[in-house]
Amino acid sequence: MGSLGKDAAAAAAERVVLAVNGARHEAAGVDPSTTLLEFLRTRTPVRGPKLGCGEGGCGACVVVISKYNPATDEVSEHSASSCLTLVGSLNHCSVTTSEGIGNTRHGYHPVQQRLAGFHASQCGFCTPGMCMSIFSALVKADKPDGPAPPTGFSKLTCSEAEHAVSGNLCRCTGYRPILDTCKSFAADVDLEDLGLNSFWKKGSDRADVGKLPEYFSGAVCTFPEFLKSEIKGQMNDIPVPAAIAGQDGWYHPKSIDELHSLFDSNWFDENSVKIVASNTGAGVYKDQDLYDKYIDIQGIPELSVIDRSSKGVEIGAAVSISKAIEVFSDGTPVFTKIAGHLSKVASPFVRNTATVGGNVIMAQRLQFPSDIATVLLAAGSTVTVQTASKMLRLTLDEFLEQPPCDAKTILLSIFVPDWGSDNVIFETSRASPRPFGNAVSFVNSAFLARTSGQLVIEDICLAFGAYGVDHATRARKVEEFLKGKSVSAAVILEAVQLLKDVISPSEGTTHPEYRVSLAVSFLFSFLSSLGNNLNEPANAIAPNGSCANGSEKHGTLGSDDLPVRSRQELVFSDEYQPVGKPITKAGAELQASGEAVYVDDIPAPKYCLYGAFIYSTQPHAHVKSVNFRSSLASEKVITVISAKDIPVGGKNIGSGFRMLGEEALFGDPVSEFAGQNIGIVIAETQKYAYMAAKQAVIEYSTEKLEPPILTIEDAIQHNSYFQTPPFLAPRPVGDIDQGMSQADHKILSGEVKLESQYYFYMETQTALAIPDEDNCITVYSSTQLPEITQNVVADCLGIPYHNVRIITRRVGGGFGGKGLKSTHVACASAVAAFKLQRPVRMYLDRKTDTIMAGGRHPMKAKYSVGFKSDGTLTALHVDLGINAGISPDLSPLIPGHTISSLKKYNWGALAFDIKLCKTNVSSKSAVRAPGDVQGSFIAEAIIEHVASALGADTNAVRSTGAGRRQLNGSMAGTGGRSAAFRACRSPTR
């Protein structure tokens, strides 16, 4: 190839060409670290995919990615997290978003219409991601093989439909209507089981698929013809060497030799070069700096091999987890069990791109609590590894035991032997917060045993992981003990005792006793299934179903494989028509299509800058200086906004509520709590701002400062309290001494402790501030209190209230967290915009939002209660400590709400001593049913304590107290919630 030809080829190679909803786009000139989500939201009109967590864990950013194989003329589609997928790896791919399958102009897709009709969208922030997960499942199921489904349905089963959204989180709606939407496409659904919807009236109208928006498979083109032609036209082009193809920061080696030539290049530096196959690992281990070069190993054939033989299955390290599940599903019982366990790793849209090798490498190099490593370890797997000088073949156990691999060590493939099905029993288990996956295990295990005809254990492998160790390990002492033995109750007991000594979580592991007990229970269940003359284990004992000799025991399924069953029964009355009539929410289809505009969806104004908080990591310390590490990200800093940039006449205020108190916007000169804003990094993009903020190095001093007050106990010891205004203070009921004297029984000391709770709205705190003429400013804020936001921004800037314009169209989830907490971001962006006289946008990353948000009030209640022998309550005294944090916020409202909730039971006499504690933690605020949740929990705990003392049924005691509900003074002293709220609101200036 001549120099001109090479230059032309290189120029073509550095341009990433992709289709977005059928339109051609070039990702030329973008930063190498740009994600697909960032590209879609900044370089195209698309706004449907949202940034929810940035970790591939919520599903708000899900899109469908399609690839074309010109050799077979076939298109393959899969869902993916656009927040993790790097746009540099998507050359000649097609991306479909929620706007691409249906919209206002061209009509909505049946998925979008049914989501709206089943009332499956509330705030709507997660709905486009839900829509694309369902659409992806439909596309996958409706491939042209097998019999056609009934009219209006797809080939999906109810179980498959439920799993379609197993990785999507929703914080508003609840999952029943979302699952009803999914099931409405399944051919095996009973439509009568579906819940309330606007297509037919439950109880009177007949459920009929003809009343649902009609569904046709293949109605959406996922790969445009022009892109197919472009791919075919380049088939005969001479390949460009990887070293030439990297002018845009991306290198695409086509062989292991080319990869090693890149490693040997003088520019290779593992601190600035990242090797990726799918980049899903960035969802677990966040990048701490920008990378200016990427090496994409997806195109190396040796890493994508799938070789099946009589000896076993070898899969390349770059094979996706979803593809591995397909390979293992069609095999022996051991392989089938591996596939079943892998289907509970991560979520469908992560498994579609995440690689098996990447997962194992993270387990070896970064101590990732991998399920895959545990399962493959028990199955006797071996790995092939290429180092800088030689190729090694190691058992997985040996590989995991080695020191962490360097960046130049490549995992080539993993071989899993075929154990057959004769006298081999393989079992896997995991315990995690969510049964369908999308959550890291507390403990995982995998056991493989080969037995003789008399059920004597000839060989056994017991692997455990995720319990607080560096990597998955084998319980070799237990294995040696069990070999050659026939399982009996005595043998099981001895094995369990040995395991307790072997499973030892490292120091700092959360809930170590719980993790050990899980490991013991997994082993007990497995050995019980092997025992001779022992009772068969219950279905719950085998989470994934037990498979021996190739058959399911008793034909049962594991609990995780059972479909979710719920039924919504409603009683209708025509008395108040049309009240109660199921009507589709206005705007629901707009939300499902992704066209509904949230604050971060507003197109960035010209010259817009972006901000990210630098927050304190110390609870009570002088901030002496803020500097930045030398890094690629720190070079992107334009300026840092701090307290000194507040305009003359303005106040250092980030939130406030009239008559209750204020909270500072900046911790200056003292950081009062960990998580307090110290400054705002300003950069040209939101990603640059995020990364630059991570480079901040803060110097602290605690000289002449008292130790921080962190707990309720500390606050009581130091008399650190906020005062509750008299008109908000709850009032006692009756005479506590008289009530106690009437009691047959007394509990003189009981205690209930409640910790905090994060809001977890899907849309994090966000604002866009645009400076205007004549000292005015417009702030687009995701807030539940626009008026308060206006007042606080004006006070912060020192301008009249009418100079501040607050615009809020919709909020992507709030639950109280978008009340006073949203004003901090609005004020921060306003101060920056006012200072720089340029628009400034802030959208907090999930970690920063979690640290700064505050959340629900922690409480500690000590109580004494008197009651009669029949369960009648006569008196209750409560000493209640409430951790309010550093500022009052809305905390003075909490005591009244808590005591009001306590009064759902008639305690006879009720007295209390409430301390609203001021501590050096982030201020707590209103969280869904503020105070009521804690009050109800405390009340129920006391009722259960009373029932336990009497040896009585809890519900009997509960009904006795509830039957005499304490209405007297139930809201006395609180002034009524809405009245108290109105009294605290400040008038406009």
The pLDDT of residue 542 is 38
pLDDT band at 786; cut points 50, 70, 90? very high
Is 784 annotated as ligand-binding?
yes
> Dihedral sign, CA of 510, 516, 521, 527?
positive
In a domain, 552, yes or no: no
The pLDDT of residue 987 is 38
User: What are the start-end ranges of the H helices in 469-601?
Assistant: 476-482, 489-502, 512-530, 588-593
Which residue is associated with the tokens 């500022």? Answer: 887
In this structure, the answer to whether residues 382 and 436 fall within a common structural domain is: yes
Is 436 annotated as ligand-binding?
no
The pLDDT of residue 452 is 86
In a domain, 164, yes or no: yes
Choose one of 810, 828, 853: the last residue of a domain: 853
One-letter identity of residue 854: G
Name the residue among 180, 171, 223, 155 with its Cα closest to residue 18. 223
CATH code assigned at 379: 3.30.465.10
The pLDDT of residue 365 is 95
In this structure, the answer to whether residues 751 and 808 fall within a common structural domain is: no
For residue range 748-757, list pLDDT tens digits in order: 999 999 999 9
Is 815 annotated as ligand-binding?
yes
In this structure, the answer to whether residues 307 and 290 fall within a common structural domain is: no
Name the residue among 706, 651, 645 with its Cα closest to residue 679. 645
Is 928 annotated as ligand-binding?
yes
The pLDDT of residue 242 is 59
Q: Compare 986 and 359 and report the one with higher pLDDT.
A: 359
The pLDDT of residue 965 is 55
The pLDDT of residue 749 is 96
pLDDT band at 977; cut points 50, 70, 90? very low
Choose one of 211, 243, 275: the last residue of a domain: 211
The pLDDT of residue 582 is 80
In a domain, 78, yes or no: yes
For residue range 197-237, list pLDDT tens digits in order: 999 988 778 999 999 999 999 899 999 999 999 999 887 76
Is 170 annotated as ligand-binding?
yes
In this structure, the answer to whether residues 730 and 701 fall within a common structural domain is: no
Is 126 annotated as ligand-binding?
yes
In this structure, the answer to whether residues 206 and 235 fall within a common structural domain is: no
In this structure, the answer to whether residues 241 and 335 fall within a common structural domain is: no
In a domain, 931, yes or no: yes
Is 406 annotated as ligand-binding?
no
One-letter identity of residue 86: L
| C-alpha to C-alpha distance for 222 and 18, rounded to whole angstroms | 12
The pLDDT of residue 581 is 77
Per the structure, the count of domains in the chain is 5
| C-alpha to C-alpha distance for 734 and 745, rounded to whole angstroms | 19
The pLDDT of residue 956 is 94
For residue range 580-590, list pLDDT tens digits in order: 778 899 999 99
In this structure, the answer to whether residues 337 and 404 fall within a common structural domain is: yes
What does the buried/exposed string (b/e) look like for 182-213 if buried means 16 or more CB atoms within 10 Å of the residue's CB? bbbbbbebebeebbbbbbbbbeeeebebeebb
In this structure, the answer to whether residues 205 and 233 fall within a common structural domain is: no
pLDDT band at 14; cut points 50, 70, 90? low
In this structure, the answer to whether residues 388 and 437 fall within a common structural domain is: yes
CATH code assigned at 770: 3.30.365.10
Is 827 annotated as ligand-binding?
no
Choose one of 794, 823, 853: the last residue of a domain: 853
pLDDT band at 517; cut points 50, 70, 90? very high
> Dihedral sign, CA of 201, 204, 207, 213?
negative
Rounded to 5 degrees, φ, ψ at 59 are 85, 0
Q: Lowest mean pLDDT of 99-113, 138-152, 765-779, name the range.
A: 138-152
By CB neighbour count within 10 A (0-12 exposed, 13-18 middle, 19+ buried), where does 502 fall? Answer: middle
In a domain, 565, yes or no: no
In this structure, the answer to whether residues 382 and 458 fall within a common structural domain is: yes
The range of the structural domain enclosing residue 168 comes to: 107-211
| C-alpha to C-alpha distance for 79 and 347, rounded to whole angstroms | 10
In this structure, the answer to whether residues 234 and 276 fall within a common structural domain is: yes
Per the DSSP assignment, residues forming a β-bridge with 93 are 18
In a domain, 217, yes or no: no
| pLDDT cut 90: percent of the chain above it | 82
| C-alpha to C-alpha distance for 675 and 886, rounded to whole angstroms | 11
The pLDDT of residue 389 is 81
CATH code assigned at 241: 3.10.20.30
Per the confidence metrics, is the pTM higher than 0.95?
Answer: no
Beta-carbon contacts of 868 under 8 Å, excluding residues fewer than 6 positions away, are 742, 743, 744, 745, 874
| C-alpha to C-alpha distance for 369 and 432, rounded to whole angstroms | 12
In this structure, the answer to whether residues 315 and 198 fall within a common structural domain is: no
Q: Tell me: pLDDT of 787 over 60.
A: yes
Is 172 annotated as ligand-binding?
yes
The pLDDT of residue 239 is 65
For residue range 82-129, list pLDDT tens digits in order: 999 999 999 999 999 999 999 999 999 999 999 999 999 999 999 999
The pLDDT of residue 547 is 40
Mean pLDDT for the chain overall: 90
In a domain, 575, yes or no: no
For residue range 52-84, list pLDDT tens digits in order: 999 999 999 999 999 999 999 999 999 999 999
Is 386 annotated as ligand-binding?
no
Across the range 32-52, mean pLDDT stands at 97
For residue range 522-546, list pLDDT tens digits in order: 999 999 988 754 544 433 333 343 3
Please provide the size of the chain in residues: 989
In a domain, 553, yes or no: no
Locate 848 and state its tokens. 């920063």
